[in-house]
Chain A
Amino acid sequence: EVQLVESGGVVVQPGGSLRLSCAASGFTFDDYTMHWVRQAPGKGLEWVSLISWDGGSTYYADSVKGRFTISRDNSKNSLYLQMNSLRTEDTALYYCAKGSSVVPAAPIDYWGQGTLVTVSS
């Protein structure tokens, strides 16, 4: 059974930093592209970032480019999102999500339960 468990969400002040983690199990982690997707309270889904199976390629939404960094540790079956220069508009539930293949464009087929990041003074 695929499991994705996010952690690290807290309340942080504007301008602050945070690192989210995602522990993956139930599949061969380094065979798949991984994503972060977020959902602001009461709003829709926003794709944030993806990382290739080997970590060699990363992509970001314009809204987070230059502030967020996605990474992975295949030896630990873990995905990360380093979030710097946080803004109030970054407040959201952050989902770790698994791509369905090594191909970046393949659909997201499993999602974690999310971790809540609140940016507020």
Chain B
Amino acid sequence: DIVMTQTPLSLSVTPGQPASISCKSSQSLLHSDGKTYLYWYLQKPGQSPQLLIYEVSNRFSGVPDRFSGSGSGTDFTLKISRVEAEDVGVYYCMQSIQLPYSFGQGTKLEIK
């Protein structure tokens, strides 16, 4: 099974400052079809998860452009260029290249 490891597990950021979350997979997420099956989700307090980024770097519909994803193979990063109060919550990476699909442990973002 593929293990997804996120760091840090928590971070506290001043509004307007950048934030970065790392996600490492135990196997490459690059498929033979050329796609990399790595996604990022945000679960705001008391809400269901919402899709932010798909296939490493593509923002889902309605996601602000302050969110960006990058990486390849086994190492991936989610960046928030300027954190806003509404960005608080837990961020998860997820892989779907191999069953069973798996999530990272989650990274809790708080505002200073």
- Give residues in A with beta carbon < 8 Å to B: 44-47, 50, 59-62, 95, 100, 104-114
Q: Which residue of the partner chain B has the closest CB to A60?
A: B100
Report the Cα distance A14→B103, complex, angstroms. Answer: 27
Please determine whether B106 and A44 come into contact, CB atoms closer than 8 angstroms: yes
**Interface size bracket, B side:** 20 to 34
In the complex with contacts A105-B37, A109-B60, A45-B49 CB distance below 8 A: yes
Please determine whether A109 and B100 come into contact, CB atoms closer than 8 angstroms: no
Please determine whether A44 and B48 come into contact, CB atoms closer than 8 angstroms: no
Since A44-B90, A44-B106, A45-B49 are in contact, a sample of 13 more A-B pairs with Cβ atoms closer than 8 Å, ordered by chain A residue number, is A45-B103, A45-B106, A47-B100, A62-B1, A100-B54, A107-B54, A107-B55, A108-B49, A108-B51, A108-B94, A110-B51, A111-B48, A112-B48
Judged by a CB distance under 8 angstroms, whether B105 is at the interface is: yes
A98 to chain B, nearest CB (A): 10
In the complex with contacts A45-B49, A112-B48, A105-B60 CB distance below 8 A: no
